[in-house]
Amino acid sequence: MAVWAIGDLQGCYDTTRRLLDRIRFDPAVDRLWFCGDLVNRGGQSLETLRLVHSLRANATVVLGNHDLSLLAIGERREEEKRKVNPDLQRVVLADDADELLGWLRGQDLVHVDRELGWLMVHAGLAPKWTTHVARKHAAEVEAVLRGPDYAKLLRNMYGDGPSWNPRLQGNDRLRSIINICTRMRYCSPRGRISFEDKGAPGTQPPGLYPWFSVPGRAERDLRVVCGHWSALGLHISGGVHAIDTGAVWGGKLTALRLDGEDLQVVQVPGRDTPASPPRARTPRQDAPRREPG
């Protein structure tokens, strides 16, 4: 038996299949952990989502920002669905869209396996969040996504604020939790996220730190595996294992073996034709976002 965590797929179906072949994935005995962002930009989002859905008995998935955006698009009127990019349009207009999106909506925001000794999240954790606190707050969002008011949450999750405060309530609280778990890269020691700074460490303005190296951050009793930050590349340090290595941008798709004493990393080349980089947006606090980046 082997347990493999895999970085952001972003609709790169052919690359995903190559990686599963490379690690000799056997659904009879092995398990897969997917770090979120299964879809968008890679051109094969429908095929990728169908593949992971077909492996659901053997797979653990956490939601990324692009997955949540897809769920929100799935709740729009049909004429609105036809205005999104063709890759996501194929998903939301597919005959099996309800089944795929219903399954996706039931996935975790944070996954904890204490027996294995790992926590998985798409982007990061707030400086003061322990693993227990992270799981507890993620469960608040998951409960709404799986309940009757999920569409309201999907409509109201967009925006860069407010910064996390345990006294937050309602949509502000849920949005803040979502932003931490699915969009964080850099933040201040008090947990204010910089959404515009996406480069490698050393490129950020003074006063900002990678979320995993903020001074005074909480001690965490589990190793963390995450994705989201392709410019960071493969990063294994201080109990944090960031494995988004930019497959959709022509980088690599990475698998990290989680069981066993020695960490094993397996990579395959990413998308043959790199996706076009996203358009930069003008910084604006609390600006609505249609496809969180």
pLDDT tens digits, one per residue of 217-267: 999 999 999 999 999 999 999 999 999 999 999 999 999 999 988 889 999
Using one digit for the tens of pLDDT, what is the confidence trace for 2-55?
A: 999 999 999 999 999 999 999 999 999 999 999 999 999 999 999 999 999 999
Q: Which residue has the tokens 């204490």?
A: 114
Instruction: Report the pLDDT value the prediction gives residue 273, as an integer from 0 to 100.
Output: 76
Q: Which residue has the higher pLDDT, 292 or 115?
A: 115
**Residue 32's closest CA among 140, 100, 123, 107?**
107
Q: Is 288 helix (H, G, I), strand (E, B) or coil?
A: coil
Instruction: Report the pLDDT value the prediction gives residue 278, as an integer from 0 to 100.
Output: 61
**Contact present, 184 and 193 (Cβ < 8 Å):** yes
* Per-residue confidence band for 77, with pLDDT thresholds at 50, 70 and 90: very high
Residue 98 identity (one-letter amino acid) = D
| Strand boundaries in 137-260, DSSP class E | 186-187, 193-194, 209-210, 223-226, 235-237, 240-242, 252-257
Cα 292 from Cα 6, distance rounded (Å): 21
**Backbone torsions φ then ψ of 225, nearest 5 degrees:** -120, 135
Instruction: Report the pLDDT value the prediction gives residue 274, as an integer from 0 to 100.
Output: 73
- Enter the pTM of the model: 0.93
**Contact present, 4 and 255 (Cβ < 8 Å):** yes
DSSP letter, residue 98: H
**Contact present, 185 and 211 (Cβ < 8 Å):** yes
The domain segmentation of the chain, as residue ranges, is 3-269
Any alpha helices (H) in 184-247, and if so which ranges?
none
pLDDT at residue 291 is higher than 60: no
256: its two tokens: 């990290």
262: its two tokens: 């020695």
Class of domain 3-269: alpha beta
Name every residue whose Cβ is closer than 8 Å to that of residue 236 and which is 6 or more positions away in sequence.
Answer: 242, 263
